[in-house]
Amino acid sequence: MTAAVITFPGSNCDRDMAVALERVMGKPPERLWHRDSDLPRGVDFIALPGGFSYGDYLRSGAMAARSPIMRQVAAAAARGVPVLGVCNGFQILCEAGLLPGALMRNAGQTFICRTAELIVENVSSRFTAGLSRGQRLHIPVAHHDGNYFADQTTLDEIEGSDRVAFRYASNLNGSRRGIAGILNAEGNVLGMMPHPERAVDAAHGGEDGLLLFKSVLDGLSVA
């Protein structure tokens, strides 16, 4: 099994993501730079980590979404390869058109850094098949632009097609309908603002993030 973690200028959670994946897989993932033009042959899983790509200039994730590697990420997603975007990675996926909506400045205009309680809403995707609907997870958040926005028609479509992966138990940033993470229509692309890679070690406060990584990677090992 081969996983890839992509680093953009300003990424700061790429090593955390790589450590989390190595813990679950038993081997380190491939590390790619945003200017790379190819993914590893036969890549099984792609992660876009958190951070502040290009300093969040223009819009968070907007410049990174035009990086050369993103053409290959989009092509891999179209083939069914699971793609996870966390925090800035979620913003990049939205800006690249792989997920609907956008991430706006938090309500209250403040940076939020705390552990959030999430409610699992979807249990049919590769990312969530190992979870239970209504299950509560405790995952850290650290963002200034995590307020998920989409128009009413889009929100209704996302809700109606069971594409809300996670919802905040307490809406901490103003996200529409408390959305913390969403899936694409095929269920193989997940964007979420909370950081599961920061919740993989009990010594660091909890291991709930391991549940998500084990769900998708265990599913790939038996596919």
Q: Could you give the residue numbers annotated as active site?
A: 87, 195, 197
Q: Would you say 2 and 44 are in contact if contact means Cβ atoms under 8 Å apart?
A: yes
Single out the residue of 42, 60, 39, 41 nearest to residue 51, CA to CA: 60
What's the Cα-to-Cα distance from 200 to each of 7, 62, 165, 208, 209, rounded to whole Å?
20, 29, 19, 7, 5
Classify strands 3-7 and 147-149 as parallel, antiparallel or unpaired: unpaired
Cβ atoms of residues 112 and 170 within 8 Å: no
Local structure of 203: helix, strand or coil: helix
CA–CA dist 158, 150 (Å, integer):
10
